Amino acid sequence: MGLLFLIFAAFKVFFNPVLGCQIPFNDVSLIGNATHSSDTLIEAAYRNGKLEGFFPNPATGWHDVVSNPLSYFDPWPPGVSQSGSRPLIVVKYCFADDAIYNLFPTLVRDAWNVWYLDSGLGIPSEQNGHRLWFNHAPLPDNTNKDNKSCYLKDGRFNTIFPPETVMILAQPYGRAGASSTTGYIPKSKNPIPYRHRMWLGAALATHPFGKSVIAHEIGHILGLIREHQRADRDHYVAFQCHNLRGYAEMKIQVEMHPKRPGDTIDLICYNPAVAKLYNFASADYTIGGLMQGTRFEFRTHGSVYDLDSIMHYGSTQFAQHWPEEVDSMPLVKWQARGPNFDPKGKVPTPKNADPIWEAQKPSRLDVERLKWLYPWDPRRPSK
């Protein structure tokens, strides 16, 4: 077990996404490019007052990410594909260019297979209880390579794909890991073409866990958020911010050069807005989180906390080094976990906590969540 964990840890450390697997404020315009880094774009947005809504009075409460009618984001709407009188919900993707297509000619499809074949989601049908499908945008002319890509060779958008098509592209700066937008972004909120995106690190193409990482990203695209950001997570897991990679440097940075008066490392660790402003990995671990225009909390619909969820991080992600004990891991599970477990005053040790193994496929509850968001019966349960 110990050796296996170490091997596992080695892989995961290699794949630590630098950006985090959720993009800043779910806004692709804040992702770095050749001339500006993500850090400078986010800080400029803050200085220009564009992030004001993200530092709300805590008393104003939280929203979930897609199922709440007040949310900025939605579940994906029905598409044009028909099954009898029942419109299917088909989420389509295209590749930004031939290079990324050639890296992942089948792996994105394979990752969807993990959902619908290996995890029991099944094809959209009354029997399976959902209307959801995820596939490559149709290629009207398979002999024309341009038609595989979201862009034409001359750099223009390939207009054969609808503008809400999910664009798959390489991680910025050749980084490893993966990140995605979350849920369906209504055109009224953000009209830019290909505003739904999935960034994949090239190393995923040959990595043994590449498929499960992409299955996790597909979960984001369809509207799921990280399980360990649920409001009740402290009864099950312990988040140890000081074990995140870069913590010491971040602490010095905020003490020497705070971006807002009064900012502290604790605020960066536990306030999702401040975490995003400093572009620190703690943003992936705060209870609740935030997206363009809204702060959210999980709406769990009564489901139990799910350590087997593919949306739950493992213990070694964002770790400083290859951790061997729970006291050096950013996220661990309590042995006595449960809805009534009180973690107050407790510190994780090998006697009371264990490492979390990242799931390799969606759990039964992950599948249930997608069926709830995309039911075959369009009469959605009341929100």
**Strands 178-180, 197-200: pairing kind:** antiparallel
Concatenated DSSP letters of 41-87: HHHHHHHTTTTGGGS--GGG--B-SSSSTT-S-BPPPP-S-EETTEE
Nearer to Zn ion, 20 or 129 (CB): 20
Nearer to Zn ion, 21 or 103 (CB): 21
Cβ atoms < 10 Å from Cβ of 135: 12
Binding window for Zn ion (CB under 5 A); candidates: 14-22, 42-50, 88-96, 158-166: 14-22
CB of 127 to Zn ion, least distance (A): 30
Binding window for Zn ion (CB under 5 A); candidates: 17-25, 51-59, 72-80, 109-117: 17-25
CB of 145 to Zn ion, least distance (A): 31
Cβ partners under 8 Å of residue 54, min gap 6: 25, 273, 276, 290, 295
Q: Which class for 257: exposed (0-12), middle (13-18), buried (19 or more C-beta within 10 A)?
A: exposed
Nearer to Zn ion, 21 or 290 (CB): 21
Give yes or no for residue 224 binding Zn ion (CB under 5 A).
Answer: no
| Residue 269: φ, ψ to 5° | -75, -35
CB of 379 to Zn ion, least distance (A): 30
Q: At CA 285, angle to CA 314 and CA 267, rounded to 5?
A: 150
Nearer to Zn ion, 21 or 111 (CB): 21
Binding window for Zn ion (CB under 5 A); candidates: 21-29, 143-151, 197-205, 255-263: 21-29
CB of 284 to Zn ion, least distance (A): 7
Number of residues that bind Zn ion (CB under 5 A): 1
CB of 310 to Zn ion, least distance (A): 9
Nearer to Zn ion, 21 or 269 (CB): 21
- Token pair for 313: 């991080």
Q: Which residue is nearest to Zn ion (CB)?
A: 21
CB of 220 to Zn ion, least distance (A): 5
CB of 376 to Zn ion, least distance (A): 27
Question: Which of residues 9, 18, 19, 21 is near Zn ion by CB under 5 A?
Answer: 21
CB of 341 to Zn ion, least distance (A): 25
- Token pair for 179: 């990140």
**Strands 289-291, 353-355: pairing kind:** unpaired
Nearer to Zn ion, 124 or 223 (CB): 223
CB of 325 to Zn ion, least distance (A): 25
Buried-exposed string 226-244: b where 16+ CB fall within 10 A, e elsewhere = bbbbbeebbbbbbbbbebb
Spatial CA neighbour of 312 closest among 372, 374, 365: 365
Nearer to Zn ion, 198 or 254 (CB): 198
Spatial CA neighbour of 62 closest among 286, 264, 235: 286
User: What's the rounded Cα separation, in Å, for the pair 200 and 202?
Assistant: 6
Cβ atoms < 10 Å from Cβ of 212: 19
Nearer to Zn ion, 216 or 371 (CB): 216
Binding window for Zn ion (CB under 5 A); candidates: 13-21, 227-235, 252-260, 292-300: 13-21
User: What's the rounded Cα separation, in Å, for the pair 337 and 350?
Assistant: 14
Cβ partners under 8 Å of residue 169, min gap 6: 95, 96, 97, 100, 197, 198, 199, 200
Binding window for Zn ion (CB under 5 A); candidates: 20-28, 84-92, 128-136, 298-306: 20-28
- Token pair for 40: 């400078």
Could you list the residues that contact Zn ion (CB under 5 A)?
21
